[in-house]
Amino acid sequence: MAHPRRRGVRQLRAALPLLNKLAASPPESRLRLLCRRAGLPPLEVNAPIFDVDGTFLGIVDLLEPISGLGLEYDGAYHREISQQTADNHREEGLERRGLTIIRVTSVDMADEPALITRIQRAHHACLSAPPIHPHRWTFTPRAP
């Protein structure tokens, strides 16, 4: 029998490498772990994205930089019309620079098998698309 004060230590040790202090919300963390189960490589979490001139384009919740697939978790805040409009403008700017954005809601998260399939298909499509050279986006801001 396990010592009462050591209950859950094994699970905690297994979970520690999965933690990411940059995650902005629990659903975003769950989405990142779901992407892992979908077979995606490690994702950038809430990384600022810039165009090649160093102009800030936005922050993507989760980004697989090799394929250019970004995932955005949209909670209740994103249902407000002003926020939807801002999200749409930001997403269009990112897509003009070659990124593909998938939007995910709590309804999507409720059907994990379907969401995993959707993510896998999008990732495959991004990897199969002709590469954009040079990348039209970067993680590097404009020098002051």
pTM to 2 decimal places? 0.79
- Could you state, in order of their start, the residue ranges of all structural domains in the chain? 20-128
For the cut 70, the answer to whether the pLDDT of residue 23 exceeds it is no
At 140, give phi and psi (nearest 5°).
-100, 120
Three-class DSSP category at 59: strand
**CATH 3.40.960.10, applies to 20-128:** yes
The average confidence (pLDDT) of the chain is 83
Residue pLDDT, tens place only, 39-83 = 999 999 999 999 988 899 999 999 999 999 999 998 866 577 878
Give the angle subtended at the CA of 109 by the CAs of 44 and 64, to the nearest 5°: 20
* DSSP code for 136: S
Name the residue among 28, 19, 22, 116 with its Cα closest to residue 74. 28
- Per-residue pLDDT at 76: 64
At 12, give phi and psi (nearest 5°).
-65, -45
- What the block records as the tokens of 20 is 């990411």
